[in-house]
Amino acid sequence: DTGVSQNPRHKITKRGQNVTFRCDPISEHNRLYWYRQTLGQGPEFLTYFQNEAQLEKSRLLSDRFSAERPKGSFSTLEIQRTEQGDSAMYLCASSTTLLTDEQFFGPGTRLTVL
Amino acid sequence: QQQVKQSPQSLIVQKGGISIINCAYENTAFDYFPWYQQFPGKGPALLIAIRPDVSEKKEGRFTISFNKSAKQFSLHIMDSQPGDSATYFCAASKSGNKLVFGAGTILRVKS
Task: Return per-residue pLDDT of chain A as tens, 114 residues.
Answer: 589 999 999 999 999 999 999 999 999 899 999 999 999 899 999 999 999 999 999 988 889 999 999 988 999 999 999 999 999 999 999 998 776 689 999 999 999 999
Q: Do B44 and A105 touch (CB under 8 A)?
A: yes
List Cα–Cα distances, B98 to A20, A32, B39, B104, in angstroms.
22, 10, 22, 17
Residue B60 distance to chain A (closest CA, Å): 19
- Counting beta carbons within 10 angstroms of the beta carbon of residue B111, is it exposed (0 to 12), middle (13 to 18) or buried (19 or more)? exposed
Give B 23-52 residues with CB within 8 A of chain A: 32, 34, 36, 41-46, 49
Chain A within 8 Å of B96 (Cβ-Cβ)?
yes
Which residue, among B33, B36, B99, would best test binding to A if mutated, counting the most A CBs under 10 Å from its CB?
A: B99
- For chain A, helix (H) and strand (E) counts, in that order, are 0, 11
Q: In chain A, what is the straight-line distance between the N-terminal and C-terminal CA atoms, in Å?
A: 37
